[in-house]
Amino acid sequence: MRTTVGIIGAGPAGLLLARLLHNAGIDSVVLESRDRAYVEHRQRAGILEQGTVDVLRAAGAGERMDREGLRHDGIELRFARTRHRVDFPALTGGRSVMVYAQTEICKDLIALRLEEGGPLLFGAEALAVEGAEGDRPRVPFRYGGREDVLECDYVVGCDGFWGVARKAVPAALSRVFERTYPFAWLGVLADVPPSHDELVYARHDRGFALLSMRPPVTRRHPSEEVAALPIKSFVSRLYLQVPAGTDAQEWGDAEIWDELARRFETADDWTLSRGPITQKSVTPMRSFVHEPMRHGRLFLAGDAAHIVPPTGAKGLNLAVGDVVTFARALTHERRTGSAELLDAYSATCLRRIWQAERFSYDMTAMLHRAPDATGFDDRLQLARLRRIASGRAAETDLAEAYTGFSLD
């Protein structure tokens, strides 16, 4: 099998890249080791920066997002039983974010890809990347019990943190910068209207908590007579800081709601609405950057090259930034014959990535309680939060980073 760009992985990075290349008239093949249902149902974050929203729209993949997604103009910081709202448009010259789940973006992009004729191969596992230093890199892969080889001009490793692409960069040329955290997030989806209309990031002596949401799901009424009346189900997405290595099943539903209520407690009359929990999982937290993001004709994008802790909601947005940068660089090369943007790919992406690493680390450190935290650490966290709540400079810094830096 032969193509211009071999894409490993059909997460948001690989799927969006295939779309961007298709729109630019460049052919590609996407290899995805899992099946379609798995990719479409894997629960991930759901906050899109303004720049990500703009890219999806321009790629012709924003129609359902614009219909169902929720525009958010701020977040709430909650600490010491007080509440502080950060107003994004007022602080950033009009920028906002969109709440729209990553799974929905994947569904939209998969549908578009299959409509335009693919190729998108589910159940196709890339085994390695070979010959990245030469002109014709190859990806041997296993598909339907047979082994085959994808021959390409370029390979883009969009295969996530556990993929094979990163391993093709020789160890002598690789540098890894990494931090693991002694805590994780226990995340739940619950069939209950969110208790606040914006996200709430709470710092508490018992640990961090986050209130988020998914756009309401509209379903047809099960009874024939009232089928014309659609039912709107509201979905809350909530997270609790838990020790690293926690098993989600250790937590009973009532225990989760009690702990959330404690950590979100305010001095005013705000209350947390409870409802049936439909999904429970634990996300480990890690900061990770692999440099460089390019080796010869192999390019790394998204989680294959970098991970941020989810506190800043940056993971998906960084993946989008990488593939936009690659698609622009390849289009430039096709149009002008100059490889200057391809050569600059790693450095261009890493500038933005390190800003997001910095922001995600700072948000994590400000809001989580480490197991060995002292009273001094607690006082510093509160001082940081009070500085944001009372001074425009620190608050603007947060709002700019949260809504995202420009892709240009």
As given in the structure block, the two tokens for residue 201 are 């990031």
As given in the structure block, the two tokens for residue 13 are 């990075």
Under the binding rule (CB under 6 A), the answer on residue 316 touching ligand APR is yes
| Site pattern 132..171 for ligand APR (x: CB under 6 A) | --------------------------xxx--xx-------
Q: Which residues carry out catalysis?
A: 72, 201, 310, 314, 402
**Minimum distance of ligand PHB from residue 47's CB (angstroms):** 5
**Coil, strand, or helix at residue 7?**
strand
CA distances from 188 to 46, 210, 214, 218, 233 (A): 14, 11, 12, 20, 16
**Minimum distance of ligand APR from residue 314's CB (angstroms):** 8
**Minimum distance of ligand APR from residue 340's CB (angstroms):** 25
Under the binding rule (CB under 6 A), the answer on residue 47 touching ligand APR is no
| Site pattern 75..114 for ligand APR (x: CB under 6 A) | ---------------------------x------------
- The rounded distance, in Å, linking the Cα atoms of 312 and 86 is 14
User: Do 285 and 364 form a contact (C-beta atoms < 8 A)?
Assistant: yes
Residue 237 contact partner, candidates ligand APR, ligand PHB, none, CB within 5 to 8 A by sort of partner:
ligand PHB
Residue 311 contact partner, candidates ligand APR, ligand PHB, none, CB within 5 to 8 A by sort of partner:
ligand PHB
**Minimum distance of ligand APR from residue 124's CB (angstroms):** 6
Q: Which is nearer to ligand PHB, 46 or 207 (CB)?
A: 46
Among candidate residues 358, 369, 368, the one with its CA nearest the CA of residue 397: 358
Work out the burial of residue 336: count CB atoms within 10 Å of its CB; fewer than 13 is exposed, 13-18 middle, 19 or more buried: exposed
Under the binding rule (CB under 6 A), the answer on residue 298 touching ligand APR is no
Which residue ranges make up the site for ligand PHB (CB under 6 A)? 45-47, 199, 212, 237, 310-311, 313
Q: Which is nearer to ligand APR, 34 or 384 (CB)?
A: 34
Q: What are phi and psi of 373, to 5 degrees?
A: -65, 145
| Site pattern 6..45 for ligand APR (x: CB under 6 A) | --xxxxxxx----------------xxxx----x----xx
**Minimum distance of ligand APR from residue 10's CB (angstroms):** 5
Residue 315 contact partner, candidates ligand PHB, ligand APR, none, CB within 5 to 8 A by sort of partner:
ligand APR
Read off the DSSP letter of residue 302: G
**Minimum distance of ligand APR from residue 56's CB (angstroms):** 14
Under the binding rule (CB under 6 A), the answer on residue 126 touching ligand APR is yes
Residue 13 contact partner, candidates ligand APR, ligand PHB, none, CB within 5 to 8 A by sort of partner:
ligand APR
Rounded-to-10 torsion of CA 392, 394, 398, 401:
100
User: Do 306 and 357 form a contact (C-beta atoms < 8 A)?
Assistant: yes
**Minimum distance of ligand APR from residue 400's CB (angstroms):** 20
Of residues 362-391, which lie at the interface with ligand APR (CB under 6 A)? Answer: none
Indicate the pairing of strand 146-151 with strand 138-143. Answer: antiparallel
Under the binding rule (CB under 6 A), the answer on residue 349 touching ligand APR is no
Among candidate residues 404, 179, 164, the one with its CA nearest the CA of residue 300: 164
Q: What are phi and psi of 42, to 5 degrees?
A: -70, 120
Contacts of 331 (CB under 8 A, 6+ apart): 24, 26
- Number of residues counted as binding ligand APR (CB under 6 A): 27
- The rounded distance, in Å, linking the Cα atoms of 302 and 157 is 8
Cis bond before residue 12 (omega within 30° of 0): no
Cis bond before residue 119 (omega within 30° of 0): yes
- Chain-centroid distance of CA 45 in Å reads 5
Interface residue list for ligand APR (CB under 6 A): 8-14, 31-34, 39, 44-45, 102, 125-126, 158-160, 163-164, 302-303, 315-316, 319
